[in-house]
Amino acid sequence: MHATIFQLLRVIELASAADPDLAALAAEPGATVRGGRNGGLDLVELAASAATGPTLPALEHALGPSSSVPRVPGLPRTIVAFVPRGRIAVYAYLDDTSGRAAELLVRRDY
């Protein structure tokens, strides 16, 4: 399994906790954490490499099927969403040239 997918699964686990540890999430390599309401978690962005990041088939093997999100004009990436895991939604930004994930988002809904 791709190292970025292992990291993504770890972030999903941390984000799923009743009271997510924002410091632990921020300590993940390449992670940017955005706090939400009442000091809770809103979003974790994981930077990946468009040249070496995981492919969509590898992500779907780990997370299940995905569906395309409407395209953003001018963005050279395709966005896909995976089936939510409870309160957690996961998105991947796939580079149009390489087909690999250049960025992964983990969003927690309250």
Number of domains in the chain: 1
Q: By the 8 A CB rule, do 89 and 79 touch?
A: no
pLDDT at residue number 110:
67
pTM: 0.90
Contacts of 51 (CB under 8 A, 6+ apart): 98, 100
Q: Which domain holds residue 69?
A: 3-108
- The per-residue pLDDT string of the chain (110 residues; one tens digit each, 9 = 90 and over) reads 889 999 999 999 999 998 899 899 999 998 999 887 776 788 999 999 999 999 999 999 999 999 999 887 887 889 999 999 888 999 999 999 999 999 999 999 86
